[in-house]
Amino acid sequence: MSDAPERTVDGVVEVRGLNTRLGGSVIHEDVSLTVVRGEIFALVGASGCGKSTLLREAIALLQPVSGSIKVFGQEVVGLSDEEALPLRRRWGVMFERGALFSSLTVMENVGVVLREHTRLSRRLIDENAAVKIALTGLPPDAGHKYPNELSGGMRKRAALARALALDPELLFLDEPTAGLDPLSASGIDELVRQLRDALGLSIMMVTHDLDLLWRGADRVAVLGEGRILGIGTMTELARSDHPLIREYFYGPRGRAAREQAWKRNSATPQ
């Protein structure tokens, strides 16, 4: 799997030889991967294996010790906030706990991005915010609520709406379905795929949700022991004989999700 053909031609995110150390412990050791334009790419691995760290490095919030991360072909390692700004306008980030501004309504949370980066009229900003909110499947009246008045699932959707505010080409999602009930979670993974199909987005996400992996991800990288243990489609990874990968996918929950996915696939042959 790890030697699966890396299509470097049209990489949106290209990670090469990444080394990270946090507080003295090694997080990444020579990690390389490529996210291809238009695909939904998932990073998985046990808790604390450095998935979120890799994501934070890709969005230039954290600096690795060495290695290179290119987004849209441009090096992000060592960029200052000011230098990263033009890049940051082209990608959207959804944080694990939403990170919505608690003193603003959902509409204002989305609108603040547009207000900061565009010169759109007030009316168009409000309408645009409402469209983004509607796109993520939130009820219209949620727009005038404050984040603490929303349920966890609605907060995630609101965070996604904010990530979409500037119509980014690339979305980074940190645990998009963590802490959601199965219904909301499947709503989110459907939404992610719909957005990709409709808007042509590339998506790089970190997740633990095996259902989301089977249904939503085009390719998956398994991170463990500081290295990439395998990259490929879920079907490819499921055939891997690496013990850690097998443990991850063939645990009791992994099996259920896989059987579900296979049942679905055999019901609707593609």
Q: Applying CB under 8 A, which part among 57-65, 128-136, 221-229, 252-260 lies near another protein? A: 128-136
Integer Cα distance of 244 and 240 in angstroms: 10
43, 204 contact by CB (below 8 A): yes
Q: Look up residue 83 and give its DSSP letter.
A: H
CB of 118 to another protein, least distance (A): 6
Does residue 179 touch another protein according to CB under 8 A?
no
Alpha-carbon torsion (45, 46, 47, 48), positive or negative: negative
Does residue 194 touch another protein according to CB under 8 A?
yes
Phi-psi domain of 152 (left: phi exceeds 0; alpha: psi -120 through 50; beta: other): alpha
CB of 166 to another protein, least distance (A): 6
Integer Cα distance of 132 and 169 in angstroms: 15
Does residue 112 touch another protein according to CB under 8 A?
no
Does residue 169 touch another protein according to CB under 8 A?
yes
Could you give the 3-state DSSP secondary structure of residue 24?
coil
CB of 130 to another protein, least distance (A): 4
Integer Cα distance of 11 and 8 in angstroms: 5
Does residue 109 touch another protein according to CB under 8 A?
no
Tokens of 159: 């965070």
Restricting to residues 129-148, name those near another protein by CB under 8 A. Answer: 130-135, 140-141, 143-144, 146-148
Integer Cα distance of 266 and 56 in angstroms: 38
5, 12, 73, 204 from 9: Cα distances, Å: 11, 9, 11, 17
Does residue 36 touch another protein according to CB under 8 A?
no
67, 228 contact by CB (below 8 A): no
- Comparison of 126 and 218: residue with beta carbon closer to another protein: 126
- Comparison of 200 and 243: residue with beta carbon closer to another protein: 200
State the pairing for strand pair 227-232/202-206: unpaired
* Out of 30, 116, 167, 247, the residue judged to bind another protein by CB under 8 A: 167
State the pairing for strand pair 66-71/40-44: unpaired
CB of 156 to another protein, least distance (A): 16
Does residue 85 touch another protein according to CB under 8 A?
no
CB of 205 to another protein, least distance (A): 19
Restricting to residues 196-235, name those near another protein by CB under 8 A. Answer: 198-200
Binding site for another protein (CB under 8 A): 37, 72-73, 86, 89-90, 102-103, 114, 118-121, 124, 127-128, 130-135, 140-141, 143-144, 146-149, 164, 166-167, 169, 194, 198-200
